[in-house]
Amino acid sequence: MALWLVPLLPLIGAMLPPLLIRSGRDVCASATGFVSLAALALLLSQAAPVFGGETVLVSLPWVPQIGLSFSFMLDGLGLFFAAMILIVGLLVIIYARSYLDRSDPMGRFYAYLLLFQGAMLGVVLSDNIILLLIFWELTSLTSFLLIGFWRHREDARQGARMALVVTGGGGLALIGGLLILGNIAGSYQLSEILSRGDIIKASPLYLPALLLILLGAFTKSAQFPFHFWLPHAMAAPTPVSAYLHSATMVKAGIFLLTRLWPVLAGTDAWFLIVAPVGLATMVIAAWIANFKDDLKGLLAFSTVSHLGLITMLLGLGTPMAAVAAVFHILNHATFKAALFMSAGIIDHEAGTRDIPRLGGLATLMPITGTLAMLATASMAGVPLFNGFLSKEMMLEEAAHTSYAGIAWLFPLLATIAALFSVAYSARFAIRTFLGPVRQDYPHHPHDPPIGMWAPVAMLIVPALAIGLFPGAVAGRLVELTAGAVVGGPLPDYYLALWHGLTPALIMSALAFAGGALMFLSYAKLNAVRLRFIRPEARDMFEAASQGAVLAARRIIGWVHNGSLSFYLRAILVTLLAVGGYAIWSAPQGEATRMPLPITIPALVAWVLLAIASLAVVVRHGDRLPALILTSVVGLVVALGFVQFSAPDLALTQISVDVVTTILLLLALNLLPKTTPREQSIPGRWRDGILAGAGGLGCGALAYAVMTREGTSIADYFLAQSKPGGGGTNVVNVILVDFRGYDTFAEIIVLGIAAVTIFALLDVNLKSHALRRVRMQLPRVESGDAHPLLLVVAGRVLLPLALTVGVFIFLRGHNQPGGGFIAGLVVAIALIVQYIASGYRWAADRKRMDSQAMIGAGVGIAGLTGIAAWAFGKPFLTSTFGYFTLPIVGTFELASAMVFDLGVFLTVVGVMVLSLAQLSRVGQRVDPLPANDEAMDIALEGTPDHEQPQEA
């Protein structure tokens, strides 16, 4: 169970550095190092079973319905990468303590570092591919923070953006690829996917999944043509460069290739894509590295080249190439982290990383010079160093590889890449540390404190030990890791310094000779190079980014043009296209259910509905008649619900229609008296055709569904309404029981909407704009503002409506009704008082706070759901029972009634708050706030001919 703590411990521990920095930089660094050390100890505590050939699996359920779980797996590959991440991370933490300046926010730096460390551990230990994707995206985000740590620098911000765009874009492709892979395998668990390689390779979806996964891996590991982002990430502090580019960030793509090697490798597509991409990256990046004057820039392109080397080996698809790839991952992590730290020391002590301004540092910085030149020798592949062994294995595999029938292509290009590696390694070591001591260094160079060079020395030790005793030091680890990559038995091999006179040795000798010659001819080669056009990846990326932004703005300007009719047309066209395609391509089957006979009342109602709908379209400019006709449409629809035995829907339709009519009546007084400019005749025809197509499509779909047999969830609700929910009104039981969570969310949304309406109108009721609106309203709408007949009828109606509302509420669980309908009925009765007697009269006599009622309704509904927890039941689980009282007799009580009470209160509060607040807009008796006195004076001084005229 401790395995899941390994990635979570750094994520949780990231909270410590920002807090402990107040206690001092040493305390902050120590706490950060302790977190990584604790995670490493937890990891190593699980290592014994792995070395015994077992795979440790830990799974905690998360969202099992979609196959998502906190599943972690520890095998040889996961142990290798996790240990590398934690060990190098611990050394970087020690190094950063001395490297960072006092002006740098160390607490924030260490927090970012631990977040990134936890994300990387999650990637290499996840057993669930969805969980892996989450951690994968987290690495992109945290690396963005680390690369842009020095946010006051433009190059740091640019490098961070570039890394996020490239790796984030690849991450989107990876999401699709891994989901396809899980769909092919029938599982999202990596431990199960890895055992179904034959099924995956035989699937027609193998190639799309492969391309998407490779796109994600290539962008993360800076493979050609995505290699340009990694060198620009060098604007980050050197500890970040040492960590991200030796053992973590750029190794994530490599890890993905190794993890999925058993199920993706071994096909022609894998070999034809992965191997040449890796080879091209190795050669191109090595050539560029030779002509970089910045030490970190040189090391960055060398990193890209070595990542290409590893990718090429994995692309060959042979078990022996996989062994060589794993071995080089280990070796590269040691010497490259040491070299980045050495470059940081030079920059920190000499004040520059520019090679032409350096030289002779071995005399002034003997410790740093010795360590850096040892690491450089390993990078160049000098014998007795670990880099030599894995380079020889790479050359051996390349020597036996034929591509497209060309036997010499891979051996030649691999040798050239090795030649370039020797050349840039010699330039790094000789031009920086050898030669005469200069007098124009920006700072006087000297060896740094032990906190900076000790981590470098600790990395050089395994580089030398593996080079001298490869089998004893790294043999078991390489075997264990390569076995997990291959997923089967490994070929016979042994790690040794001498394998005899082999093609690889000859290729290596040629590379050393050619590299030395290239180093000596650097000036001439550089002069020739400068004569040719050299495309700058940064400029190309910026141009592409700006072009994409400009195109996006134009598209947004065209799509989001502020026209509601345009949006509706776009939505309708899309629905028609998608729906038409779905209906056209789906098997239809024969109609087996005969339509009901047409009755005279139904025919009359249908004709009335059609006439009213057409009249609304024709008379839409006359707002009051259009509103009346709309009410007629709503009434006919309610009659249709009654016809088809849906009384609850009929009651809801009528209630909502009445509330909507009242709302629109209040709004009519504020709307313009004339309609906006009509469209042209072609535009009307276009909209008419779209509307007709939409209506015909909906009608055809409804006809197809109703005339064919099919299964429905309705049978379940009908069967379980009484035994499961205690009520015979299926609609109400669904709302308050089976789908109670939906109803709870809906009343919350209703409450938020009502409070928002109140807040917006309350502010505007005190504004000068509203004063102008009120002055525009007719001064005399009627000879009698509150007709006596309406006042008396409204007051008589109130108690009757309240009684009906209570009756509908109480009967709702077994008969048509319920809290929602009852709330609408009561709200209508209360709103009628505002209409009949005016806002001021009704507001003065209101004995309830609408906002408090909304809060009480939502609170009661929520507490009803929480109460189920006390009985060990899920949220909103309801219960019911039967009780007997003298005289009253036997009756039923259901907990859903309390939930329904919350719905009732919320609906009443929402309706009253919204409509009553809107009714205030047209009232001229409301006093204006004090800051409107100037407006009153200005209006009083307005000439009569400019005053608003009475209607």
Note whether 825 and 808 are within 8 A (CB): yes
Q: How far apart are the first and last CA of the chain?
A: 81
Burial class (CB in 10 A: 0-12, 13-18, 19+), 665: middle
Interval 930-942 mean pLDDT = 39
pLDDT band at 920 (very low <50, low <70, confident <90, very high): low
**What distance in Å separates the CA atoms of residue 681 and residue 694, rounded to the nearest whole number?**
20
- Sequence-separated (6 or more) residues with CB below 8 Å from residue 90: 33, 36, 37, 40
Residue 797 vs residues 107, 266, 830: alpha-carbon distances, Å: 69, 82, 10
**Residue type at 882 in one-letter notation:** Y
pLDDT at 927 over 80: no
Interval 803-822 mean pLDDT = 87
- Sequence-separated (6 or more) residues with CB below 8 Å from residue 446: 349, 364, 365
Note whether 545 and 165 are within 8 A (CB): yes
**What distance in Å separates the CA atoms of residue 84 and residue 264, rounded to the nearest whole number?**
25
pLDDT at 100 over 70: yes
Query: Which H or E run contains 131?
Result: helix 129-147
pLDDT at 218 over 90: yes
Which two tokens mark 556?
């947004």
| pLDDT at res. 935 | 38
φ, ψ at 126 (rounded to 5°): -65, 140
Displacement of CA 692 from its chain's centroid (Å): 39
pLDDT at 738 over 80: yes
Q: How many helices (H) and strands (E) are present in the chain, helices listed first?
A: 42, 4
pLDDT at 500 over 80: no
φ, ψ at 949 (rounded to 5°): -85, 150
Taking Cα atoms as reference points, which of 509, 704, 425 lies closest to residue 591?
704
Mean pLDDT of the chain: 85
What is the pTM for the complete model shown? 0.71
pLDDT band at 246 (very low <50, low <70, confident <90, very high): confident
Strand partners, 891: 883
Scanning 669-713, the segments in alpha helix (DSSP H) are 681-706
Of the ranges 310-314, 578-582, 684-688, the best mean pLDDT one? 310-314
Residue 67 vs residues 56, 186, 299, 873: alpha-carbon distances, Å: 20, 10, 42, 24
Interval 414-438 mean pLDDT = 91
Query: Which H or E run contains 1?
Result: none
pLDDT band at 88 (very low <50, low <70, confident <90, very high): very high
